[in-house]
Structure 1
Amino acid sequence: MGSANVASTLVYMAERCTSMRELKLIHAHAFRTCLHQHTVVLGKLFRFAAVSPFGDLSYAHSMFDQMPHPSTFFYNTLIRAHSHSTTPSLSSLFFHIMRQNDVAPDEFSFTFLLKSRSFTTPFVHDTHSAVFKFGFSRHLHVQNALIHMYAVRGLTLLARRVFEDALKVGLDVDIVSWSGLLVAHLRAGELDAARKVFDQMPERDVVSWTIMLSGYSQAKRPRETLALFQEMRLVGVWPDEVTMVSVISACAELGDVEMGRMVHRFVEENGFGWMVALCNALIDMYGKCGCLEEAWHMFDRMKRKSLITWNAMMMVCANHGYADDAFRLFEWMIGSGVVPDGVTILSLLVAYAHKGLIDEGIRLFGSMQREYDVQPRIEHYGAVVDMLGRSGRLQEAYDLLTSMPIPSNDVIWGALLGACRIHGDVGMGERVIKKLLELKPDEGGYYILLRDLYVAAGRTVEANEMRQAMLASGARKNPGCSWVEA
């Protein structure tokens, strides 16, 4: 068989490769037939190793190191591979090596590089200037990548400037360009500005509808989420899994179980019912609406359960006071080989609080890093403070707060102040309010809680002084809140 036929066969095999074992066998055969530097054969093998889900990026690096003069394609493939990896900064490294070796970048070089720069810390702007230097400012894909780079950082002015520059040079901006602007405003927390962009879009696909729906959902504006979903269905845009998660979350936020059931029927009737993320969202929704039987039904029927599935069901049980069910789920989860995370531990702490097992909860909190490799976060401290506060162990809660290795916030201190009110501890309340006024001096609810403490203790003079202090500060009369739902 001639070398051209052998090369054609190797290319055919490489295109259908499904594992690194197969790829290594093909690569070895390429060496034996002296085709290991054949551009097309090597390109197919290299692309699989670098960017396939079944590839091996370290093997791709070994291949790259053996190339005497890698072309733009091979540099681009590595830049692309690292833009999707846990080491996006290496994309910039290979771009710089590419330039040092006088290999000319193309539009794909910048598209992949800009994607990686979206996730690189610290954020730098030098790639934008390189786009102009190499003459790629008239390539729409590159301009869209620039918009996306600024959008994911919430840099709306820069994203909009690139969008407007694209229009000035005569580019026909597309739905990707518009969606980038939409993301930029949402990442910046500018929800109303995002909606204006959404309404101005000349065309909208499921991605742009879902981006806007997710923005409303994440901003806890469930009514707008559901209204927009209805509008989406009226214009005939078919939702995807991410769309439906946002809609279910809106039902949970509203506590609207009837709407939730309607959405559930839509999910089942339209073939989404097998999707784990949607089932997880439905468990959470039914739990928040108080429909535990339906939450259990969703959980039990799931053939595949993710960590989020277990966590969702455990938290439902914990929040509704079914601590034993939460503990049983935890044992079942561990027995199934699922590794717990911070949410798992939080649900157990909530369950211990509802069960009144304070010492057991504190022991879990003290051992969570050692036993489960979970670093305590603010929500774990909040759960323990709430637990101690409910049981009247206010000094222990205060000591825990003042010794935290991470910054505290007004919510966690507010939970302790609420406990002071429940247990009538004026002295501790005064200490807590001092800290709260440092953290959030305009929050009137904390003044009110301490004033109520003074009133309950018969200390009317201090109660009146607290009222005057609140009025003088112009604080809002929003009540403090507990960290964990009662």
Structure 2
Amino acid sequence: MASANVASALVYMAEKCISMRNFKLIHAHAFRTCLHQHAVVLGKLFRFAAVSPFGDLSYAHNMFDQMPQPTTFFYNTLIRAHSHSTTPSFSSLFFNRMRRNSIAPDEFSFTFLLKSRSFTMPLVHDIHGAVFKFGFCRHLHVQNALIHLYAVGGVTISARKVFEDAVRVGLDVDIVSWSGLLVAHAKAGELDVARKVFDGMPERDVVSWTIMLSAYSKAKRPHETLDLFQEMRLAGVWPDEVTVLSVISACAELGDAEMGRMVHKFVEENGFGWMVALCNSLIDMYGKCGCLEEAWQVFDRTKRKSLITWNAMMMVCANHGYAEDAFRLFEGMIGSGVVPDGVTILALLVAYAHKGFVDEGIRLFESMQRDYGVEPRIEHYGAVVDMLGRSGRLQEAYNLLTSMPIPSNDVIWGALLGACRIHGDVGMGERVIKKLLELKPDEGGYYILLRDIYVAAGRTAEANEMRQAMLASGARKNPGCSWVEA
């Protein structure tokens, strides 16, 4: 009886434990009372070490290695622990070890293993075969985990097959099953099919609504995002912080400040205002809507400013021509101990361009890798080309583009062509259009820009030749472009 009382006390303490220091004291007491191999005591202790946020997975491994014959429960606990860890591939190792030691897996083994596999791409199908071999095709949780595995990989055919097989064998597919199928089509970019799945769901929760909203938002379909959000509210489903992020992104895309303010009010009224990710999105949204005062208000009220917070506000200031504010923010960021990244440097380059501080911008560009450990990317080159182009230093911009150590693209060369038009540089325009037609021969807008340069220079014959060249190539004109002279 005394031993049973001690065991009950140890189980209770293990369940209430919130630190490894206290856990080790409990474990030591289990050894002193010879209860360290007691099935229930050992199970509770092991579960804490392996999966508790206060536990220690390496300590759990040591406990596991000292077990003479670990049961399915202990293998499952380690498989589950690694599915939530930075080493999800270890789940497969323990599953294979379990099979080699002739320990029969159960539905939890497969559920945890499938979850871990969703983090270890590329996707492999061997686990699906094992599910079939061990007879777990009639367990809904296992089938849902399989659907999710294929869904995160965007393998819609396999996800749908598992879903249909579950229905065929008589399983009562639930909202998790449907949501997995929805994720599969959304992940594959099949938004219209995803919407059909969504509309056909017998039940929808905040997760399923958010999956569809997020898919529209990521696909840059802001009108559908906001329309669906209105449907969600009318359906009486309460949004969460992830839902709100998608809606704020759509408001930013459309420049819809009115809806953005409504969402911001919802964020404040529902206690989401502390979330840094939401604050960052609100700053970006207000900036894109031209509401700088409100962007500043959100920034100033954000207590835990992340790198993204500083970058977002810097970019807002830079894009609107408030270079001094961007520079001041940069100084505050450095003073706060936040390490700049590529976005920070890009914001500074944009600010220099708007201010006309070309030489200062070039010095920053040339020193960014040395001083900040940031390697220039295509967007940094684009900002410098824009900076040089604005100031008429077209040859320097051309030299920079032709000496880039990374591949260029039509966008960056198009910026230089635009600068040639502004400054009326026909010779440079001809050189740039040659490169652009190599990169994107079917883009008619480039022909039109060069033609405008010829017209401005009074070279009508060359302008007409450009028109004929475009018609002969079959290139498309951009919407709004016209060959009709003013």
**Same topology, TM > 0.5:** yes
Taking the aligned partners of 2:264 and 2:307, their CA distance within structure 1 comes to 21
Taking the aligned partners of 1:57 and 1:347, their CA distance within structure 2 comes to 42
Taking the aligned partners of 2:78 and 2:379, their CA distance within structure 1 comes to 39
Aligned-residue offset at 1:406 = 4.0
Aligned-residue offset at 1:170 = 1.1
Query: What does residue 17 of structure 2 align with?
Result: 17
Taking the aligned partners of 1:78 and 1:8, their CA distance within structure 2 comes to 24
Q: Is the 8 A contact 1:448 1:479 kept in 2?
A: no
Taking the aligned partners of 1:41 and 1:377, their CA distance within structure 2 comes to 56
Aligned-residue offset at 1:404 = 4.0
Query: What does residue 445 of structure 1 align with?
Result: 445
Taking the aligned partners of 1:51 and 1:11, their CA distance within structure 2 comes to 16
Query: What does residue 455 of structure 2 align with?
Result: 455
Task: Report how many residues are paired.
Answer: 480
Taking the aligned partners of 2:415 and 2:147, their CA distance within structure 1 comes to 42
Taking the aligned partners of 1:121 and 1:307, their CA distance within structure 2 comes to 29
Q: Does 1:413 align with 2:413?
A: yes
- What secondary structure does 2:34 align onto? coil
Stretches of structure 1 lacking an aligned partner (at least 5 in a row): 481-486
Taking the aligned partners of 1:376 and 1:225, their CA distance within structure 2 comes to 34
Aligned-residue offset at 1:334 = 2.5
Q: Does 1:130 align with 2:123?
A: no
Amino acid at match of 2:245: V
Stretches of structure 2 lacking an aligned partner (at least 5 in a row): 481-486
* Distance 1:42-1:162 versus aligned 2 partners, 3 A rule: same
- What secondary structure does 1:236 align onto? coil
Taking the aligned partners of 1:99 and 1:406, their CA distance within structure 2 comes to 49
Query: What does residue 101 of structure 2 align with?
Result: 101
Query: What does residue 8 of structure 2 align with?
Result: 8
Aligned-residue offset at 1:402 = 4.0
Question: Deviations 1:343-363 (Å, cap 9, x if unpaired)?
Answer: 223222222222223333333
Taking the aligned partners of 2:365 and 2:421, their CA distance within structure 1 comes to 25
Question: Deviations 1:132-183 (Å, cap 9, x if unpaired)?
Answer: 1111111111111111111112221221111111111111111111111211
Query: What does residue 253 of structure 1 align with?
Result: 253
State how 1:343-362 maps to structure 2 within 5 Å. 343-362=343-362
Taking the aligned partners of 2:109 and 2:4, their CA distance within structure 1 comes to 30
Taking the aligned partners of 2:195 and 2:470, their CA distance within structure 1 comes to 37
Query: What does residue 426 of structure 2 align with?
Result: 426
Q: Does 1:195 align with 2:195?
A: yes
Calculate percent identity across the aligned residue pairs.
Answer: 88
Q: Is the 8 A contact 1:445 1:479 kept in 2?
A: no
Q: TM-score, normalised by structure 1?
A: 0.91
Q: Which one has more relative contact order, counting CA pairs under 8 Å at least 6 apart?
A: 1
Query: What does residue 330 of structure 2 align with?
Result: 330
Taking the aligned partners of 2:48 and 2:401, their CA distance within structure 1 comes to 52
State how 1:190-339 maps to structure 2 within 5 Å. 190-339=190-339
Q: Is the 8 A contact 1:50 1:81 kept in 2?
A: yes
Query: What does residue 78 of structure 2 align with?
Result: 78
Cα RMSD after superposing both structures = 2.4
Aligned-residue offset at 1:47 = 2.5
Query: What does residue 35 of structure 2 align with?
Result: 35
Aligned-residue offset at 1:329 = 1.5
Deviates further, 211-220 or 233-242: 211-220
Q: Does 1:372 align with 2:372?
A: yes
Query: What does residue 484 of structure 1 align with?
Result: none
- What secondary structure does 1:244 align onto? helix
* Distance 1:322-1:101 versus aligned 2 partners, 3 A rule: same
Taking the aligned partners of 1:384 and 1:453, their CA distance within structure 2 comes to 22
Question: Deviations 1:88-127 (Å, cap 9, x if unpaired)?
Answer: 2222222222222222222122222222222223322211
Aligned-residue offset at 1:38 = 3.1
Point out 4+ residue stretches in structure 1 off by more than 6 angstroms. Answer: none
- What secondary structure does 2:331 align onto? helix
* Distance 1:444-1:43 versus aligned 2 partners, 3 A rule: farther
Aligned-residue offset at 1:206 = 0.6
Taking the aligned partners of 2:373 and 2:25, their CA distance within structure 1 comes to 40
Query: What does residue 483 of structure 1 align with?
Result: none
